[in-house]
Amino acid sequence: MRKAARLLLLLVVTALALTAPVPAQAGPGTAHGRSVLGLHSGWSFHRGEAPGAAEPGFDDSGWDRVTVPHSWNGRDGQDGGNDYYRGPGWYRRTLPAPTGGRVWLQFDGANTTTTVWVNGRLLGEHKGGYARFRFDATEALRPGRDNVLAVRVSNAPDPDVAPLSGDFTLHGGLYREVALVLTDAVHLDLLDHGGPGLYLRQQRVTPESATVAASTKLVNDSRSTARVRLRATVTGAFGEVVARGQSSVRAVGGGQAVDLALPLTIVRPRLWQGRADPFRYQATVEVVDTGGRVLDRVSQPLGLRTAEVSATDGFALNGKQLPVHGVNLHQDRPDVGWAVTPAQHAEDFRIMREMGVNAIRTAHYQHGETVYELADRHGFLVWTEIPLINLTTDSPAFRANIETQLREMIRQNFNHPSVVWWGLGNELWHDSPANNALLDRLASVVRAEDPSRPSAYASCCVSDRAGITQHTDGIGYNKYFGWYTGTFAELGPWADQLRAADPARPLALSEYGAGASAFQHQENPPSVVPASRWHPEQYQSAYHEAYWSQLRQRRWLWGSFVWAMFDFASDSRDEGDHPGRNDKGLVTYDRGIRKDAFYWYQANWTDTPVVHLNSKRWTSRTAASTTVRAYTNAETVTLRVNGRQVGEPVSGANRVAEWPEVLLRPGPNTVEVSGFKNGRPHTDTAVWTLRE
């Protein structure tokens, strides 16, 4: 009985701990400097307008109960018809009311315009669907009483907020994390465009030493002067301190903010080397009062590295040329839209690593913190960009908003070593004076905010040397020869001619790809109509074989990025085997099937043994004679059909093994390809049934 009673007591205590508000304390910085309380559960949601919902006494008992992250377009945004809901949605929940210090509401991403109230008091509005933002909720909270948070989110089109257009579903809702952040009245700035308040500026990196300035903005939200100092440490893989610094005591007046920077030197630094060695230090800055009490503490990743783009040598990491094997990456999943879990993001990175990817372009917007953290950890290079897509509004409000979105992206991701390129937009349709002036302004913002990283732009649909291609440090082009226009063979000559016309301009291929259904098959399809419902997988394979064979010869390109890594929702599309989907991914939307072209890149981009039988899902056949193909990096590959070897072993030197005019017998046929890699056998098998 006593054991059962103890178990019951433990369950009660645990339940109380999980549901109780944060306890009152003298100040959140007393023990830990800063704390974060995730607001995942307890939300009520209504899709549509709800007059009066900002008021604390509003009756939301009839609303849906949801958890956050949440999107209201998970299903209607992926089924085609271009008719998914774009309008307002409301969220409400109660909040704990910690006492002492400051309390901030933090939203990691909400699309597109978000307005926030606490207890009926308006905290503010944020316009932009992809960046983190915060509001100071301190004065609106009532200690010891229920507090009501009300949030109105709308993904309705707004001519003053980018993107105005895009070939992807603009999922609405609180689709990333929401949290309360508790700090002391004296803290690093939380309202600096959603940034961490700590910016690690690498000033000099050599094999002997690295010099870093830990730049901060210190804010005193109290009414009295605070006397504080900054204390900084850099730690290595096992927590060992490799650098430290401390400022003198500073007096910061009530309601004031000051900029402070600490120089830090790391002797014989270990560099962040991309996928070869994605080593990171951790830099921590503390705000300490004269009594030694930690008022605030912020930690950020520190990956020491240099990165350059060149018109002649392509991309160099830490002074060494590195071929950029990139893919474009959207952020959605079936049925949930953009409300993707950290585990799902981690799965995406595992799949990309498997294929040999070493770079991603976060199309066409700033992705969430989890993505950049995973890129840091796995050694991926990142081209991240603002959602300046297709169309613009020539208005002061639009220009101010997209500039704000750029500053948010830079400051929030400044410390991630994976971030190499700041992207200023994609496929503006008009080479107008207004668009040129806008891109010129945005390029100047990048130079002022972060001169250590190059800016980039992805061009399409205008002249290759149009004015809008001339503003950034590097230029990328979205080219689909053999899909939307022309033939596969045009890619190489196009690149060579463009380079010859402007030999000093660093060039990249920012997009290339072809649609494919994993369930539609045709041997040697001569062409495909992109807007049709027939996208045989074999055409995508032929496309990527032709493209990569040309790209790998042109090492002067600073990058190439496949469109796209995964199929994604585009509700306006009606093509391939599924309406509402862009099927150019190398992996299906649900991540369940790696299409054949995936293995083409794996054979070219990795040392992993690859022996992959192409068209293996094409199990029902009507033609007795067929060409058998395999992607491989094995020394030689052998084909057997129904246990009998066909022809001689084929070399895998060109990553493709092929056996023409192989005869299948009526009924089931066991087709097996096998090869040796590093002295070990590898086999892939399928059963193809010939229908009489």
Domains of the chain: 20-184 (2.60.120.260), 198-302 (2.60.40.10), 315-604 (3.20.20.80), 620-690 (2.60.40.10)
Q: What is the 8-class DSSP label of residue 429?
A: S
pLDDT at residue 33 tops 90 = no
In this prediction, residues 217-235 reach a mean pLDDT of 97
> Per the structure block, which two tokens stand in for 573?
């599309």
Q: What is the band of 249 on the pLDDT scale with cuts at 50, 70, 90?
A: very high
Q: What is the band of 692 on the pLDDT scale with cuts at 50, 70, 90?
A: confident
Asked whether the beta carbons of 426 and 363 are under 8 A apart, the reply is yes
The catalytic position among 286, 385, 427, 511 is 427
- Give 173-193 pLDDT, tens digit per residue: 999 999 999 999 999 999 999
Pairing, β 325-328 against β 359-362: parallel
- Give 445-484 pLDDT, tens digit per residue: 999 999 999 999 999 999 999 999 999 999 999 999 999 9
Residue 14 or 446, more confident: 446
pLDDT at residue 486 tops 60 = yes
- Give 311-354 pLDDT, tens digit per residue: 999 999 999 999 999 999 999 999 999 999 999 999 999 999 99
What's the confidence (pLDDT) of residue 4?
39
pLDDT at residue 29 tops 70 = no
Residue 9 or 620, more confident: 620
Residue 300's nearest CA partner among 226, 246, 369 is: 369
In this prediction, residues 22-40 reach a mean pLDDT of 60
CA 454 to chain centre: 18
In this prediction, residues 395-406 reach a mean pLDDT of 98
- Give 350-398 pLDDT, tens digit per residue: 999 999 999 999 999 999 999 999 999 999 999 999 999 999 999 999 9
Asked whether the beta carbons of 381 and 274 are under 8 A apart, the reply is yes
pLDDT at residue 128 tops 80 = yes
Q: Name the pTM for this structure.
A: 0.94
What's the confidence (pLDDT) of residue 2?
38
Contacts of 2 (CB under 8 A, 6+ apart): none
Q: What is the band of 32 on the pLDDT scale with cuts at 50, 70, 90?
A: low
Beta-carbon neighbour count of residue 483 at 10 Å?
Answer: 21
**Dist. CA 599–CA 589, nearest whole Å:** 17
> Per the structure block, which two tokens stand in for 316?
């160099």
> Per the structure block, which two tokens stand in for 422?
């700041």
Handedness of CA 231, 234, 237, 241 (dihedral sign): negative
Q: What is the band of 20 on the pLDDT scale with cuts at 50, 70, 90?
A: very low
Q: What is the band of 37 on the pLDDT scale with cuts at 50, 70, 90?
A: very high
In this prediction, residues 138-155 reach a mean pLDDT of 95
pLDDT at residue 577 tops 50 = yes
Q: Does the annotation mark 427 as catalytic?
A: yes
In this prediction, residues 633-658 reach a mean pLDDT of 96
Per the prediction, the chain carries an average pLDDT of: 94
Report how far apart the first and last C-alpha atoms of the chain are (Å, whole number).
73
